[in-house]
Amino acid sequence: MPSRWFRPANGNVWMMGVLNCTPDSFSDGGNFIDVEKAVKYGIAMRDAGAAIIDVGGESTRPGSQPVGLEDELQRVIPVVKALALAGCTVSIDTMKAEVMSQAVAAGAVLVNDVSALSFDEESLDVVAASGVDVCLMHMQGTPETMQLKPEYNGVVDEVACFFEQRIHTCLQAGIAESSIVLDPGIGFGKRLEDNLALICATGEFKKRFPMPLLLGLSRKSFIGSVTGAAVDDREIETAVAGAIGILHGADILRVHDVSLQGRAIRMASALS
C-alpha cells in the first residue's frame, strides 16, 4: 500500500502547519504555551488548509537546550489530545520515545523526529508497534551544536546515504516502507550552499527513494542569509523556495503561515 503522504495526482502538495508549544522556538516561541490558545490555533490552521498539525514541545533551533521529559509531555499531550478529538490530523515533533508513545495514544498519527529515530533507542520499537507514520529527518550534530561548523564533501550524496541507512534500520525494526516520509533537514547542520543544493536536489531524492519527501523551509535562517530579511518577514522567500521544491517533486511543505503559504502552494501545485 503506498504512503498516504504522496502528493495526490493532479492535486496540491500537502501542508504541515507548525504548532510550537515552546517558550524558545526561533520564530514563534512563547506564542502557544497556553493549551487553549494552542488548540484554537491548531484548529484554525486545519480550517485554513493544513493537512497536518505538527505539535512540538522542545525547540530544535540552532543552539537550543534539551527539555526534560515531563516538561515536554505537559506541553504537548493535552494539545495533541484536544486537536485529535477536534478531528485534526496530528503529528508529534519529538525525539523522545515516551513522548511519541503518549502522543500516539492521545491521537497523533505521525512521528516527526529530527533525529530520524536515532536519539532514543526505544523510538524504533514505539513506531513499529504503533504502526503510525514517521518522518525521518537528516541532521548533522544536535540542535545545540549543529550550526557550529557543519561540513560536507557532497551534501546531497551524504544525506542520501544517511536516508539509506535509516530506512534499512527502520525496515529491520518492523516499520513499513509505506509509513516512512523523508526530510533532508534544511537548516539542521547545513551551510547556506548546502540548503540551496538540497532544495534543488528534491527531484533526485524522489528518484532515489520511493517515499514522500517533506521540506521544512519556512522562515529558516538561510533565507535571511540570502535576502537579509528578519525572521518574522520571510514569507515571500518561503513561498519562492517552497515553489521550487514543489516543481522538483516535494510532497509536503512544513509552514508557519498556513493561509498565505497555502495560496503559494496552490499556485505552484497548479504549475507543476
Q: What is the pLDDT of residues 43-96, one digit of tens each?
A: 999 999 999 999 999 988 777 778 899 999 999 999 999 999 999 999 999 999
- For residues 106 and 79, give the distance between their C-alpha atoms in angstroms, rounded to a whole number: 9
4: Cα within 13 Å, side-chain hemisphere: 9
**Mean per-residue pLDDT of the chain:** 93
How buried is residue 244: exposed, middle or buried, by Cβ count under 10 Å (0-12/13-18/19+)? middle
Q: Which residues contact 153 (CB under 8 A, 6 or more apart)?
A: none
Whether the per-residue pLDDT at 26 is higher than 50: the answer is: no
195, 187 contact by CB (below 8 A)? yes
Catalytic residues: 220, 254
How buried is residue 70: exposed, middle or buried, by Cβ count under 10 Å (0-12/13-18/19+)? exposed
Which domains does the chain show, CATH number per domain? Answer: 14-271 (3.20.20.20)
Give Rg (Cα) of the chain.
17
**Where do we find the cell 537550543?**
64
**Where do we find the cell 560536507?**
152
Closest Cα to residue 187, out of 216, 226, 213? 216
Phi, psi (deg, nearest 5) at residue 219: 60, 15
Provide the pLDDT for residue 165: 98
What percent of the chain stands above pLDDT 70?
A: 96
- For residues 198 and 159, give the distance between their C-alpha atoms in angstroms, rounded to a whole number: 9
- For residues 213 and 72, give the distance between their C-alpha atoms in angstroms, rounded to a whole number: 27
Work out the number of other CB atoms within 10 angstroms of the CB of residue 215.
Answer: 27
242-259: average pLDDT: 97
For residue 32, what pLDDT band results from cuts at 50, 70 and 90? low
124-153: average pLDDT: 91
Whether the per-residue pLDDT at 29 is higher than 80: the answer is: no
pTM over 0.75: yes
Whether the per-residue pLDDT at 184 is higher than 60: the answer is: yes
Rounded-to-10 torsion of CA 3, 251, 72, 75? -110
**Where do we find the cell 551551510?**
191
